[in-house]
């Protein structure tokens, strides 16, 4: 009986150990490190009828919060915290409208955003990213550093690929003007203007995506930047050469050594600067214009036929891209947003 009891205990221990191992390996085998959690898959809102997951919303909120709040201690003040939360929510909602505008406009041009070709392109793009890492864990860790997960990364790749497909579809269907004669007439009209810029960068200036300015060795405060821009404008009004003032005061990378300036149409610049320059007549100088890029003084100039001839293809490309951007912007403005109860329960401050 004693031997039997010992054998029974050993069998039970072995069975228990086997069960633990089975459960452990079973759980490991079932767990997909690339799959979103149930929380991440919950719907926060719909934009243009399309579901927005908590995972994607979280990505945008955390990125926006870093940019707007950073380590700022304003969260400790109730009024400032409420103001920042409202600002972050508004900017994220606009970013979501802009993002989903691509998918919505794809529908108008009969582009299936989930068809086999686009899915294959997304797969290839993500696989190419993953190949840059030693293993899946390293890939996931890298995404987490950008507040992303695998599903969100795939969604962003899908949007990028759909955007390219939409762009070329609009060109091929003539939704964007491509006729050379029509474009030449457009470049000669007031739809395209030529401007020069003196840009002085302040402490809160934001680097444009195209690297349109460089930071000076000794960064100015906003007050100093504004004063320098005002001083440059005053000197121009007393008769000094604008190009020489650009060299002395300007901090725009594009304007360095550039006496041609910019040839632009609507949709190429941010709203603030674009509105300022399109309200000028030829040879008119602007007031000091404050924008996210810094403090600018603009001079509208007469266009040069030889420049347009020499840069015709470049100007066409800029026009195509601007027209595409305007189409997306118009679509974005029409999109309705419907939030869920989850959205109302989210704390921007406490989101992790």
Q: What φ, ψ does residue 253 adopt, rounded to 5°?
A: -65, -40
Query: How much of the chain exceeds pLDDT 70, in percent?
Result: 86
Asked whether the predicted pLDDT for residue 32 surpasses 90, the reply is no
CA distance 42 to 44: 6
The answer to whether the beta carbons of residues 65 and 351 sit under 8 Å apart is yes
pLDDT tier at 19, thresholds 50, 70, 90: very low
**Higher model confidence: residue 63 or residue 213?**
63
pTM summary value: 0.84
CA dihedral 279, 280, 286, 290 (to 10 degrees): 30
Counting Cα atoms < 13 Å in the Cβ hemisphere of 98 gives 11
Q: What φ, ψ does residue 197 adopt, rounded to 5°?
A: -135, 135
The answer to whether the beta carbons of residues 269 and 208 sit under 8 Å apart is no
- Interval 160-174 mean pLDDT: 97
């Amino acid at each position: 009986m004693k031997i039997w009891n010992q054998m029974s205990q050993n069998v039970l221990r072995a069975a228990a150990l086997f069960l633990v191992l089975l459960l452990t390996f079973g759980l490991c085998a079932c767990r997909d490190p690339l799959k979103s959690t149930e929380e991440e898959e919950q719907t926060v809102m719909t934009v243009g009828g399309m579901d927005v997951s908590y995972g994607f919303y979280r990505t945008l909120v955390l990125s926006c919060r870093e940019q707007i709040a950073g380590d700022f201690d304003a969260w400790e003040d109730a009024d400032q915290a409420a103001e920042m939360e409202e600002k972050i929510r508004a900017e994220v909602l606009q970013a979501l409208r802009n993002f989903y505008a691509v998918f919505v406009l794809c529908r108008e041009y009969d582009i299936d955003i989930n068809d086999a070709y686009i899915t294959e392109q997304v797969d290839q793009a993500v696989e190419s990213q993953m190949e840059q890492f030693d293993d899946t864990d390293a890939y996931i860790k890298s995404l987490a550093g950008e507040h992303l997960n695998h599903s969100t990364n795939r969604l962003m790749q899908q949007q990028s690929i759909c955007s390219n497909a939409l762009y070329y579809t609009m060109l091929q269907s003539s939704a964007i003007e491509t006729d050379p004669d029509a474009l030449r007439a457009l470049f000669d009209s007031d739809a395209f203007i030529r401007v020069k810029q003196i840009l002085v960068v302040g402490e809160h200036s934001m680097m444009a995506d195209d690297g349109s300015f460089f930071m000076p060795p000794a960064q100015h405060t906003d007050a100093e930047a504004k004063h320098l821009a005002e001083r440059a404008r005053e000197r121009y009004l007393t008769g000094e050469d604008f190009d020489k003032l650009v060299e002395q005061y300007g901090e725009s990378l594009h304007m360095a050594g550039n006496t041609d300036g910019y040839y632009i149409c609507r949709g190429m610049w941010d709203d603030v600067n674009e509105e300022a320059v399109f309200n000028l007549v030829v040879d008119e100088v602007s007031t000091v214009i404050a924008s996210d890029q810094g403090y600018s003084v603009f001079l509208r100039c007469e266009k040069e036929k030889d420049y347009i001839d020499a840069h015709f293809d470049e100007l066409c490309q800029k026009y195509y891209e601007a027209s595409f951007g305007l189409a997306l912007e118009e679509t974005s403005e029409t999109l309705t947003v419907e939030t869920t109860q989850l959205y109302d329960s989210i704390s921007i401050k406490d989101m992790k």
